[in-house]
Amino acid sequence: MTGLSEPPALGTPMLPPGTFEGKVVVVTGGGTGLGKAIGAEFARLGATVVVASRDPEHREKGVAAMNAAGGKGFGIAVDVRSPEAIAAAFDEIEKECGPIDVLVNNAAGNFPVLAEKMSPNAWRAVTDIVLDGTFFCSTELARRAIASGREAAILNIGATYSWTGGPGTAHSAAAKAGVTNMTMSLAVEWAPYGIRVNCLAPGLFPHDDLPSVLRDKNNRSEEQDAARVPAGRVGRPHELGWIATYMCSPFASYLSGHTAVLDGANWLRRGLRMPDFVPVYEQFNFEKDS
Ligand code: NAP
């Protein structure tokens, strides 16, 4: 059994060159990991890619990645939990780069914690960024696009535990489920204005920027990670870039309200004959109270 084959190499063109020439693409959290990889594919297709996040070092690395991919990188400081900060950042982007054509709501926070030990602050630390931040950025863009009569595309980055729940990460799973659901509401509300809203749910996509709190405590190798997935391999971040650019491109102009799952069939492999159940505190090496 060989599993699913590796994709073409990073940098291989999928859409016609210049598909996003003259377009302004904002990627929240575009300075690290998957956001950076997604932004780079827009940049490769000619976009001005705005890296919108809090940490100046992240933004600097993101802008360098967009420039290296052949686009134009632009960094903007923003905390997506603040509607006022988003409005100010969008003003600045419009002034420096022009009106926004594509918004990728990628920013997120996450950390494993037992639900019964999760403080209200811990809950809000994740839901404020993932659910509220996605809504605030999306509505800010939509108000501007509706007022100016310009078309736009929004891509939310979700997760497959939207449908399964996420034991050990109840805050993130609930927030991502909200994002998946909100994608459908906004798609219907805004299609009459030419605004498309879609969602992309990645599976297992390890990358070097992953915060230590999310790295597997058992330090599994890539081969061991690959054994977790029916595809027999983990995802490559540029594969997300390809599907993200397609979903926001004119080739997908009839696609709205959709959540695409890119996970090598991993989340579907549930059944009555699962491997032995491992309680959450054991999976994450947490202390058990009693
Ligand atoms: P990551 O490297 O930790 O990236 C998260 C980004 O969000 C950072 O660049 C961070 O930038 C930004 N961010 C966090 N809080 C913010 C805030 N309040 N305002 C603005 N920006 C903020 O994570 P990743 O693995 O690339 O994940 C990217 C997306 O894919 C997330 O939505 C995640 O849930 C989803 N996902 C990832 C995987 C995976 O296997 N990696 C699987 C499923 C889903 P600053 O620190 O500079 O603000």
C-alpha closest to that of 48 among 28, 25, 76:
25
Half-sphere exposure of 163 (CA within 13 A, CB side): 10
**Which residue's CA is the closest to the ligand 1 atom numbered 40?**
205
Report the pLDDT averaged over residues 252-268: 97
Query: What span, in angstroms and rounded, lies between the C-alpha atoms of 195 and 198?
Result: 10
Single-letter residue type at 186: L
Residue with tokens 């909100």: 182
Copy the structure tokens of residue 83. Answer: 């509607």
- pLDDT for 215 equals 65
In sequence order, the 6+-apart residues with CB closer than 8 A to the CB of 22 are 46
Copy the structure tokens of residue 276. Answer: 């032995």
Sign (positive or negative) of CA dihedral 140, 191, 183, 120:
positive
Q: How close is the Cα of 149 to the center of ligand 1, in Å?
A: 31
Kindly provide the b/e burial profile for residues 183-194, where b requires at least 16 CB atoms within 10 angstroms of the residue's own CB: bbebbeebeeee
Report the pLDDT averaged over residues 5-13: 96
Q: How close is the Cα of 28 to the center of ligand 1, in Å?
A: 8
Q: Of 161, 193, 246, 281, which residue is the catalytic one?
A: 161
219: left (phi over 0), alpha (psi -120 to 50) or beta: left
**Which residue's CA is the closest to the ligand 1 atom numbered 33?**
108
Asked whether the predicted pLDDT for residue 230 surpasses 70, the reply is: yes
Report the pLDDT averaged over residues 178-186: 98
Asked whether the predicted pLDDT for residue 217 surpasses 60, the reply is: no
Q: How close is the Cα of 249 to the center of ligand 1, in Å?
A: 23
Q: How close is the Cα of 274 to the center of ligand 1, in Å?
A: 30
- Domains defined for the chain, CATH in brackets: 24-264+278-283 (3.40.50.720)
Q: How close is the Cα of 34 to the center of ligand 1, in Å?
A: 7
List, chain by chain if needed, residues with CB within 6 Å of any ligand 1 atom. Answer: 28-29, 31-35, 53-55, 58, 78-81, 106-109, 129, 157, 159, 202, 204-205, 209-211
**Percent of the chain residues past pLDDT 90, beyond the cut:** 86
Query: What span, in angstroms and rounded, lies between the C-alpha atoms of 29 and 35?
Result: 6
Copy the structure tokens of residue 48. Answer: 């001005």
**Which residue's CA is the closest to the ligand 1 atom numbered 34?**
108
- CA 105 to ligand 1: nearest atom: 32
End-to-end CA distance of the chain: 44
- pLDDT for 218 equals 56
Partners of 50 in the beta sheet?
26, 74
**Which residue's CA is the closest to the ligand 1 atom numbered 12?**
29
**Which residue's CA is the closest to the ligand 1 atom numbered 21?**
53
Query: What span, in angstroms and rounded, lies between the C-alpha atoms of 16 and 275?
Result: 45
48-105: per-residue pLDDT in tens?
999 999 999 999 999 999 999 999 999 999 999 999 999 999 999 999 999 999 999 9
95-139: per-residue pLDDT in tens?
999 999 999 999 999 999 999 999 999 999 999 999 999 999 999
Single-letter residue type at 40: A
Residue 281 annotated as catalytic = no
Query: What span, in angstroms and rounded, lies between the C-alpha atoms of 126 and 74?
Result: 26
Residue to mutate (ligand 1; options 27, 34, 140; most atoms within 8 A of CB): 34
Query: What span, in angstroms and rounded, lies between the C-alpha atoms of 166 and 161?
Result: 5
